[in-house]
A and B are shown apart, each in its own frame.
Chain A
Amino acid sequence: MLDDFLIRALLAGIGIAMVAGPAGCFIVWRRLAYFGETIAHSALLGVAIAVLVNLHLVIGIFVTAVVVVLAMYYLERRDTLPTDTLLGLLSHGGLAVGLVLLSFFPDMRLDLQGLLFGDILAVSRLDLAVVWGGGAIALGMLWWIWRPLLAATVSPDLATVARLHPERALLVFGILLAAVIAAAIKIVGVLLIVALLIIPSATVRRFTSSPEQMAAGAAVAGVIAVAGGLLASATLDTPSGPSIVVTALAVFLVTRLGRPRREVNAR
């Protein structure tokens, strides 16, 4: 059964969406969309490095992304440049250096289109193992840092006073984000991965009344988007990343059709 490329892509996509949903909630709550873009763009540099030193692509992307996360944490504390300027620097710097490096390997059968927009044929058995193994570790990590991370999101000061070490939780979350993005690149692509993080959580926000509900709902919405998008991609022969994002967007819009539900005060 795993010989079928579509089944492999579906299984990998579902695994990714189950982590991307909860992680994406924190992107929305903490307004980290641009941070996510930066990690995603650095992935091309990661691919180039993986090719250079002959690593598995996902590992190369993950290691590069972790370096970018650490650089970001360091620069934010040291440098006086505003955060979005720093992110722009790292984001487009990483993208450009990656593209230049990759152009030195014209013989490599590297599919740039696939890297940027995702490729449904790209998921190997090894990728599947990496995605599910990494996904399980990522979910475990998120479980472990959930309370400190949520407290730090509401108020770093309250988290610190309660000795929850918010800095540590934020660093772990950055690494986790690097892992999610590295795993998702093959299917969704560098340019659209942040959409898979953000749209599912934005979709379920108004149906939920606790952070945990929203995280679970976003995982479900993400799985629907990935499954629908991959099936459409296989049937219509469209690129997989855009197909997934279009599906996610369609689900988002459908849930908006009804009359906006006001938050009810229980009194």
Chain B
Amino acid sequence: MGVRRGERWIVRHVDITVDRGQLIYLIGANGAGKSTCAKAILGLLDIDEGTIERMSSLEVGYVPQRLALNPTLPLTVRRLMTLTGRFPKDHIESALAAVGLDRLGDPPVTTLSGGEFQRLLLARALIHRPDLLVLDEPAQGVDTAGSGVVLDLIQGIRRDLRCGVLLISHDLHAATSTGDDVVVLVPHEHDEPPPARPDPPAHLSRREARKL
């Protein structure tokens, strides 16, 4: 799969497979095209090459890298949970409980901290009971201890929902130790074979994607 803007390929030769219950990491430097890959997989932008195959009636949950809210729009935590669908109260409560936001009351979302807001977006995505969860740097702006908490959360959700997870991250260490597969986006100036990489850890196959 590849995405082009003008003459320039933003990502190219990317090959990602996420099966049910798997945790797949998508790793790469800033600007390597991770978010672009995620959006292509979600059908948010058209690809210029290759194919994307989805299981029929695939329910997808998405946590974008950033979400800028207009402060003139009044939204509370619980109102945000029903932004893209109607859900019974107990579903809302259990989704909030899954990310540890159930005892917060119902404050305006603008008063949440960065980490709380990220977890709220995660709860909002998982209330749809997704088969596939796409998370774009969910631990961004969270300290190291916090990112461990986020990872534990994601692992718990994956077990409970038996969903596939595509996790975009910078943390190669966590990726190699917890991922079922790691896809690394490497920027390349020319359409040449990628340079040799160190051997991947034995328990996982690492695929490489190149960016022209």
Main secondary structure of the interface of A (DSSP, over half): helix
Within 8 Å CB of A263, what residues of B? 107-108, 110-111
Tell me the residues in window 138-169 of chain A with beta carbons closer than 8 Å to chain B beta carbons.
Answer: 147, 150-151, 153-155, 157-162, 164
In the bound complex, how far is the Cα of B83 from the Cα of A29, in angstroms? 15
Binding site for A on B (CB under 8 A): 39, 42-44, 60-62, 64, 67, 69-70, 72-76, 79-80, 83-86, 104-108, 110-111, 128
Q: Across the interface, do B39 and A157 meet the contact criterion of CB distance under 8 Å?
A: yes
Q: Across the interface, do A29 and B107 meet the contact criterion of CB distance under 8 Å?
A: no
Find the B residue at minimum CB distance from A207: B74
Find B72's partner among A29, A155, A210 (CB 8 Å cutoff): A29
Q: A211-B79, A265-B107, A267-B107 are in contact. Are A161 and B60 (CB under 8 A)?
A: yes
User: Within the complex, what minimum Cβ distance (angstroms) separates A266 from chain B?
Assistant: 3
User: Within the complex, what minimum Cβ distance (angstroms) separates B106 from chain A?
Assistant: 6
User: Within the complex, what minimum Cβ distance (angstroms) separates B8 from chain A?
Assistant: 17
In the bound complex, how far is the Cα of B79 from the Cα of A210, in angstroms? 7
Within 8 Å CB of B107, what residues of A? 263-267
Q: A28-B72, A210-B75 are in contact. Are A158 and B83 (CB under 8 A)?
A: yes
In the bound complex, how far is the Cα of B74 from the Cα of A205, in angstroms? 8
Q: A150-B83, A154-B83 are in contact. Are A211 and B69 (CB under 8 A)?
A: no
Asked whether any CB of chain B lies closer than 8 Å to the CB of A103, the reply is no
User: Within the complex, what minimum Cβ distance (angstroms) separates A25 from chain B?
Assistant: 8
20 contacts between A and B (CB under 8 A): A29-B70, A147-B83, A147-B85, A151-B84, A154-B69, A154-B80, A155-B64, A158-B64, A158-B84, A160-B43, A161-B42, A162-B85, A162-B128, A208-B74, A211-B73, A211-B75, A263-B110, A265-B111, A266-B105, A267-B107
Q: For chain A, give the interface size range.
A: 20 to 34
In the bound complex, how far is the Cα of B39 from the Cα of A160, in angstroms? 11
Find the A residue at minimum CB distance from B130: A161
Among B61, B72, B105, B107, find the residue whose CB has the most chain A CB atoms closer than 10 A: B72
Among A154, A164, A205, A209, find the residue whose CB has the most chain B CB atoms closer than 10 A: A154
Q: Across the interface, do B83 and A209 meet the contact criterion of CB distance under 8 Å?
A: no
Binding site for B on A (CB under 8 A): 28-31, 147, 150-151, 153-155, 157-162, 164, 201-202, 205, 208-211, 213-214, 263-267
User: Within the complex, what minimum Cβ distance (angstroms) separates A156 from chain B?
Assistant: 8
Q: A162-B128, A209-B108, A266-B104 are in contact. Are A154 and B44 (CB under 8 A)?
A: no
Q: Across the interface, do A157 and B72 meet the contact criterion of CB distance under 8 Å?
A: no
Within 8 Å CB of A267, what residues of B? 104-105, 107
User: Within the complex, what minimum Cβ distance (angstroms) separates A205 from chain B?
Assistant: 6
Q: Across the interface, do B70 and A158 meet the contact criterion of CB distance under 8 Å?
A: no
Find B84's partner among A162, A210, A211, A264 (CB 8 Å cutoff): A162
Within 8 Å CB of A30, what residues of B? 70
Q: Across the interface, do A213 and B84 meet the contact criterion of CB distance under 8 Å?
A: no
Find the A residue at minimum CB distance from B69: A154
Within 8 Å CB of A209, what residues of B? 74, 76, 108
In the bound complex, how far is the Cα of B104 from the Cα of A221, in angstroms? 32
Within 8 Å CB of B105, what residues of A? 265-267
Within 8 Å CB of A201, what residues of B? 72
Within 8 Å CB of A266, what residues of B? 104-107
Within 8 Å CB of A205, what residues of B? 72, 74
Within 8 Å CB of A214, what residues of B? 74
In the bound complex, how far is the Cα of B84 from the Cα of A163, in angstroms? 9
Q: Across the interface, do A210 and B111 meet the contact criterion of CB distance under 8 Å?
A: no
Find A157's partner among B62, B74, B86 (CB 8 Å cutoff): B62
Within 8 Å CB of B128, what residues of A? 162
Within 8 Å CB of B70, what residues of A? 29-31, 153
In the bound complex, how far is the Cα of B60 from the Cα of A211, in angstroms? 26
In the bound complex, how far is the Cα of B85 from the Cα of A147, in angstroms? 8
In the bound complex, how far is the Cα of B146 from the Cα of A192, in angstroms? 51
Q: Across the interface, do A158 and B62 meet the contact criterion of CB distance under 8 Å?
A: yes
In the bound complex, how far is the Cα of B83 from the Cα of A13, in angstroms? 32
Q: Across the interface, do A161 and B74 meet the contact criterion of CB distance under 8 Å?
A: no
Among A29, A151, A162, A263, find the residue whose CB has the most chain B CB atoms closer than 10 A: A162
Find the A residue at minimum CB distance from B73: A29
In the bound complex, how far is the Cα of B86 from the Cα of A195, in angstroms? 33
Within 8 Å CB of B67, what residues of A? 154-155, 158
In the bound complex, how far is the Cα of B35 from the Cα of A4, in angstroms? 62
Within 8 Å CB of A29, what residues of B? 70, 72-73
